[in-house]
Structure 1
């Protein structure tokens, strides 16, 4: 894209600025006298003008070729595997009134008196109410939906495997509720998905994506393996057992390489840990899949007003809009460069008919 921009700028200079400078240096009286004498040989200025036109045509043709490559890229983006459905899926943000923020993050060692989780007290009851709304097919909480730009990265260890201090393992981490895969239409390729029975008192589990399995297990079966997320340093004292592998979802950019991530049940994130404050005691996302035309924003605001009135909602957006916004820069670049290339080539071709006279 930058190379095409440079070519476009150079073509602009050749087609407008340089001809203007050349015209400014011509003596009009001498030019008219030469024309009246019927000069048979081309002047140096005429030769230079012809060379400039040839350069314009060449660069404009190069722009057209580049536009074709951009169109091919955009075509590939349109065919890229998203890993989620866009039809009738809407996401929105929710922020509790007592959101702590990252500046207040700290690990508490008083696990015996750990406070109840906002996931259990607020978000799970909200989800149960959301799922009873007419026209709502499924609803889920997810702290970092696809293409949202929200990220939490963490080093981790695989129990029973040696560590490499020079190349520590790292992954994106997100907390989810039950029905997450169903809401986004993402297939579970191995094992099972997180569900609402994965609570604080049940065995701690996690689900990884295909990219995680490829990078860190290299063809081996990851089910049953355990993941540690920092231990005492982060307040994540218990290991999480892998119970499923989720299909890859486009995460940062459509068509880009998918990064490893793991999902934690929202009710199994310890309230004394850093992860609780970073994932749940801050802005979270909800996603709903609807049947037909449902006024999602109005219905969800009504649900939260009834169940959790202190939680603020914002940024309602369909997944189709998220995809369109993510690919906007590529599409805009194609349209601008394509239009410029077409017009430049047409002007240069028209001028070439007069340059050699």
Structure 2
């Protein structure tokens, strides 16, 4: 007789995946899943096509391809203000998700509490639950989603072991500033907590202030596990390339866990990733300009259809208040938009442990402009 592990109790396929299936069934426009449907840099693809046969097609070292680790180390020093020895402070992983799951597996025991800033990334919640840890929400109030010191301190319990920080945040697009990260440093120091950051959207932000990595700040460097990857910055999520950096004594068990879970990230793609990390600053400027235009296109479309999108500071999602549709929850709003407009979104409840209190959905704008223009027409048609 088949038995199901206790750790699977209550776990189901993510709302993001199930909404994608529903959207495909009706032939709709999928703004639900962050599929990153814009073209990768043409020079990266050309480089890969020309060199693919000569690349290493066997396993890499458990910590990753040596050349990639050197490139990541240089990138961290230049863009993140983080010093990381490629020999013992960086591990290449199967996506940022692989880095996150290896971190949980290596550093925590069942029952440990993990603070999550709500609304939070649904896959973070699923992974925390899979390893039989306890997600402890810290509510960030719309529309600003600022982190308040008192709210963070009040969420800490005797079982709390870590804080997860996603910046720029999925789903809200929030970029936590120096003051907010100072609150995290203060409280993490008081309670000897690890800080796990997910910075996968680090190069996608709006405004003049560059990305601020928590691990670069005083009081956080020695206790921070920094996670990022190449999926979003180079539009290659299917390559499944992520990485994690931390002090050597913290990273050592993470490397063992990553090796156990997946052996290594795809070796030839690791080697090609070195070329991506060498792209000039102008590439990232163009990337941000492109996404800013898409952000405005989709925001205007939702506004014209009677809804209220937020103004994200980073990432490529809108958080849309759908109160104007006459619905009472994000679930109802997502159903309404799919049924009446043929547009798939994700209900805000998928990113919260508690009721968000407002009918909010997340919509992804990492799609071609013609899809966004068609979305505008369908939203308007669905309103009538």
TM range (shorter): under 0.3
User: Taking CA–CA contacts closer than 8 Å with sequence separation of 6 or more, which of the two structures ends up with the larger relative contact order?
Assistant: 1
Task: Name which one, 1 or 2, has greater alpha-carbon Rg.
Answer: 1
TM-score using structure 1 length: 0.24
